[in-house]
């Protein structure tokens, strides 16, 4: 971005305090990460960002938003006073979005948002100037930050949009007013807050609340909860999945160690993605649907998908210290995702003498249904397929009880949350060169510490 501070003040219906009118080229809420000509936005969370204004100035900020009436307002420094700094940042993002005026692709879903976002951006970058959400900056702070980071030449903005409560996607949809909405799937993520998958589906559909009249909804047609709700939408609709009545569906699916391949009903083109599993093919089908919407050919899309780089810690293969192959999927977890990953992992070929070893940590935010949902992973655990299981965390005790009759005690390991060092030690002693290992848990279980030791 590139705007004078006076333009920003005008966009926010306020004025500058101070004589300077610097050119703003970036916006940040982290006083430690100040880019050139940065506007500092102090947000209130666990800590009050206003307390870090001196740090922001020392690190090179040239101006700041400031909550009216807040103490310690800096002197001799350009300040734009606003009622609420977060709402002001969102309003500024909306102003800048309208100014650049890219086509907006909004992506949500219980699983696969980030991977689908990465795939869509890779596909569209073949023909267009594309800006996408970095990492998973997908909430009421991350979405406006993503907008404010885009270049003025951006033609398509690909936004990951998350939610953990009703109304959140409604607000984000109003902010970005998408031209294309993509819903990957409905799972059990955040069921603690919603109670049922029906209510999760309702919340996900909020992304379409401000979908433009000539916009399109692209959604997983294999999910009845989405099909039922999409039928009420006036805008155009496209479906993807594995059923013959989907607009685009996959056939000849194959999953290998480092990639998956498939064809679709739309052509004879063979697609290959550098990720495994049927659920990632579903994400790729969403990206193919987006590519088709923007006029791209299957040949162009296939080329992009074969080369796309996924965000870290999402089913990435890593080489362990003793030569074992590790499937790193530690960013997050919920029952739907865990079952999909276990299925994919069980299909990966193992070298002679090797074993499949699953390391599973608690899945968080499952509420009263947590014991039952953890135990439900038992359906995807067969000792003849996944030979050894390490379980970590209080909720995983439910899965241990569900599978202890079919696993020998020597192949089933359980650890309380304060026993991570012991689990790491046991894994280091147990794993051999020809083994393959998968790591999956909610981010709050910190399996990254296990991964670091194995690497």
The answer to whether 110 is a known ligand-binding residue is yes
The answer to whether 28 is a known ligand-binding residue is no
The answer to whether 113 is a known ligand-binding residue is yes
**CA–CA separation, 182 and 178 (whole Å):** 10
The answer to whether 311 is a known ligand-binding residue is no
How many residues are recorded in the chain? 455
Q: Are 291 and 301 in contact (CB under 8 A)?
A: yes
Q: SS3 sequence, the chain? A: CCEEHHHHHHHCCCCEECCCCCEECEEECCCCCCCCCEEECCCECCCEHHHHHHHHHHCCCCEEEEECCCCCCCCCCCEEEECCHHHHHHHHHHHHHHHHCCEEEEEECCCCHHHHHHHHHHHHCCCCCEEECCCCCCCCCHHHHHHHHCCCCCCEEEEECCCCCCCHHHHHHHHHCCCEEEECCCCCCCHHHHCCHHHHHHHHHHHHCCCCCCCEEEEECCCHHHHHHHCCCCCEEEEEECCCCCCEEEEEEEECCCCEEEEECCCCCEEEECCCCHHHHHHHHHHHHHHHHCCCCHHHHHHHHHHCCCCCCCCEEEECCCCCEEEEECCCCCHHHHHHHHHHHHCCCCCCCCCEEEEEECCCCCHHHHHHHHHHHHHHCCCCCCCEEEEECHHHHHHHHHHCCCCCHHHEEEECHHHHHHHHHHHHHHCCCCCEEEEECCHHHCCHHHHHHHC
The answer to whether 109 is a known ligand-binding residue is yes
**CA–CA separation, 128 and 242 (whole Å):** 29
The answer to whether 116 is a known ligand-binding residue is no
**CA–CA separation, 23 and 295 (whole Å):** 38
Q: Are 62 and 35 in contact (CB under 8 A)?
A: no
- Residue 3: how many CA atoms within 13 Å on its side-chain side? 24
The answer to whether 243 is a known ligand-binding residue is no
| Binding site as annotated, residues | 109-115
| Binding site as annotated, residues for ATP | 109-115
């Amino acid at each position: 971005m590139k705007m004078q501070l006076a333009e920003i003040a005008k966009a926010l219906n306020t004025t500058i305090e101070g004589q300077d009118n610097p050119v703003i080229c970036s916006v940040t809420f982290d006083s430690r990460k100040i880019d050139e000509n940065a506007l500092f936005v102090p947000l209130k969370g666990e800590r009050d960002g206003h307390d870090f204004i001196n740090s922001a100035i020392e690190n090179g900020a040239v101006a700041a938003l400031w909550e009216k009436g807040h103490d310690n307002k800096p002197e001799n420094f350009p300040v734009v006073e606003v009622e609420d700094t977060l709402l002001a940042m969102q309003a500024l993002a909306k102003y800048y979005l309208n100014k650049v005026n890219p086509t907006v692709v909004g992506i949500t879903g219980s699983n696969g948002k980030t991977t689908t976002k990465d795939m869509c951006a890779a596909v569209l970058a073949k023909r267009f100037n594309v800006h996408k959400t970095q990492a998973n900056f997908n909430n009421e702070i991350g979405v406006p930050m993503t907008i404010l980071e885009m270049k003025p030449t951006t033609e398509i903005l690909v936004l990951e949009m998350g939610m953990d409560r009703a109304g959140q996607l409604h607000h984000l949809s109003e902010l970005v007013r998408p031209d294309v909405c993509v819903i990957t799937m409905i799972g059990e993520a955040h069921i603690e807050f919603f109670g049922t998958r029906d209510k999760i589906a309702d919340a996900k559909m909020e992304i379409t609340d401000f979908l433009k009249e000539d916009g399109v909804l692209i959604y997983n047609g294999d999910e009845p909860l989405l099909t039922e709700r999409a039928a009420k939408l006036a805008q155009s609709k496209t479906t993807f999945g594995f059923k013959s009545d989907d607009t685009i569906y996959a056939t000849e699916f194959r999953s290998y160690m480092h990639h998956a391949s498939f064809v679709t009903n739309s052509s004879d083109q063979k697609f290959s993605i550098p990720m495994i599993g049927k659920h990632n093919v579903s994400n790729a089908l969403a990206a193919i649907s987006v590519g088709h919407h923007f006029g791209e050919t299957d040949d162009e899309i296939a080329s992009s998908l074969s080369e796309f780089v996924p965000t870290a810690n999402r089913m990435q293969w890593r080489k362990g210290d003793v030569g074992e192959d590790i499937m790193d999927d530690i960013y997050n977890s919920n029952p739907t995702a865990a079952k999909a990953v276990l299925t994919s992992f069980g299909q990966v070929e193992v070298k002679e003498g090797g074993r499949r070893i699953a390391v599973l940590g608690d899945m968080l935010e499952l509420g009263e249904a947590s014991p039952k949902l953890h135990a439900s992973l038992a359906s995807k655990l067969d000792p003849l397929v996944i030979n050894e299981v390490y379980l970590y965390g209080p909720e995983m005790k439910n899965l241990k009880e569900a599978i202890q009759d079919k696993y020998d005690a020597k192949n089933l390991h359980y650890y309380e949350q304060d026993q991570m060092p012991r689990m790491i030690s046991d894994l280091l002693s147990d794993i051999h060169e020809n083994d393959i290992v998968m790591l999956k848990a909610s981010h709050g279980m910190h399996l990254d510490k296990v991964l670091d030791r194995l690497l």
